[in-house]
Amino acid sequence: MEASSTFISWMILGLALAIGNIVHTTDARAFFVFGDSLVDNGNNNYLATTARADSPPYGIDYPTHRPTGRFSNGLNIPDLISQQLGSEPTLPYLSPELTGQKLLVGANFASAGIGILNDTGIQFLNIIRMYRQLEYFQEYQQRVSNLIGSDQAKRLVKEALVLITVGGNDFVNNYYLVPFSARSRQYRLPDYVKYLISEYKKLLQKLYDLGARRVLVTGTGPLGCVPAELAMRNTNGGCSAELQRAAALYNPQLNQMIRDLNNKIGRDVFIAANTQQTHTDFISNPQAFGFSSSRIACCGQGPYNGIGLCTSLSNLCPNRDLYAFWDPFHPSEKANRVIVQQILTGSTDYMSPMNLSTIMALDKI
Ligand SMILES: *[C@@H]1O[C@H](CO)[C@@H](O)[C@H](O)[C@H]1NC(C)=O
Ligand SMILES: *[C@@H]1O[C@H](CO)[C@@H](O)[C@H](O)[C@H]1NC(C)=O
């Protein structure tokens, strides 16, 4: 009696767990992330590169209070989008933990230091460039096919949400990396921007060819106003005019390219997120978002805490929520929350042709 009732409880528990699993895997849509350090969840931890965020104080406000490879004091943009989708954070594709059922949550292919161009971030040596990220996406789909069959795998990808954040490094870690860089001798800025957009278009087309059907594409932030640029090349104490000019040329052309691609496909596959506008909002009025500063990094050294890397020897602010920038280049978790809120509910000034809550409502039907 005792033994058999225990057996039955175990069976019920087993059944409940099995149902839980099924509900879990068909409930939340999968989420895929591509791009650079703004969205890397820790792939670079597994690579021999200097572009890494795997030591303190990175992660100081993460739930574990440990560094994870995210370039943030806490959560980053993909984490906060995962929360909205009702799923676990995406695991880095290179993580040995990304196996079995966990594959069905999605995957994060992003790698700090990379750009649209293959030659961006060469100083970081061994990083996962965009074409490689897309190859890994193909490999991922094969692994999921082996797990749930190829029809189901195709469906999982088609119904997934995708985020791609890339482009800032093509300016900061390529064109403007050193005075008289190879690219700046090859192209005038307006021609370089055109070239970037044409190469980016190929990457987005490839993502579509690999099955992606809902893709959030973020523009660059106000590149010239990040603490690193304020420290190194401010224009009369203000944002770097040259990098601001780059962002001002790039972002509208990115939006136009996205409109063209959607027209060609005949559907709103690509959604432009105007992160420049959001950032500009909190740079021009930090107090409205609860920031005491949008110019000084929480972690760093030198003017604006904008010089060098954020390490255990750097200045570190006690309250990260008061800073728009965590380190010389990357937003704080608090700023990431503002950005994701705009992605979710922003007007067409921020999200074009529509915001993520509209997308989620549309895709439910
Ligand atoms: C970048 O590299 C990929 C493969 O590694 C290649 O297919 C692509 O053509 C390269 N892009 C340019 C502009 O050279
Ligand atoms: C964005 O989301 C809100 C709901 O949160 C909605 O009222 C609004 O119309 C949406 N805007 C666009 C442009 O889709």
Give 283-313 pLDDT, tens digit per residue: 889 999 999 989 999 999 999 999 999 999 9
Q: What residue owns the CA closest to ligand 2's atom 2?
A: 345
118 Cβ below 6 A of ligand 1: yes
Report the alpha-carbon distance of residue 322 to residue 337 in Å, rounded.
13
Task: Name the CA dihedral angle for 8, 13, 14, 17, rounded to a multiple of 10 degrees.
Answer: 160
Q: Is 54 a catalytic residue?
A: no
- Quick check: CB of 357 below 6 Å from ligand 2? yes
Question: Residues 294, 280: contact at Cβ < 8 Å?
Answer: no
Report whether 106 contacts 31 (CB < 8 A): yes
Q: Which domains does the chain have, with CATH numbers?
A: 29-364 (3.40.50.1110)
Q: How high is the mean pLDDT of the chain?
A: 92
Catalytic-residue membership of 65: no
Ligand nearest the Cα atom of residue 345 = 2
Q: Which of 131, 133, 200 to mutate to test the pocket of ligand 1 (most atoms within 8 A of CB)?
A: 131
Helices marked H in 187-274 — which ranges?
Answer: 189-209, 227-233, 241-265
Residue bearing the CA closest to ligand 2, atom 9: 347
- Specify whether 24 is catalytic: no
* Model pLDDT, residue 279: 84
CA 316 – CA 270 distance, rounded (Å): 38
252 torsion bin: left (phi>0), alpha (psi -120 to 50), beta (else):
alpha
Q: Which residues of the chain have pLDDT under 70?
A: 1-27
How many angstroms does the Cα of residue 358 sit away from the middle of ligand 2? 6
d(CA 23, ligand 2 centre) in Å:
28
Which of the residues 37, 72, 314, 332 is marked catalytic?
A: 37
For atom 14 of ligand 2, the residue with the nearest CA is 354
- Coil, strand, or helix at residue 324? strand
Closest atom of ligand 1 to CA, residue 199: 13
What's the pLDDT at 280?
87
Give the per-residue pLDDT at 283.
85
CA of 364 to the centre of ligand 2 (A): 16
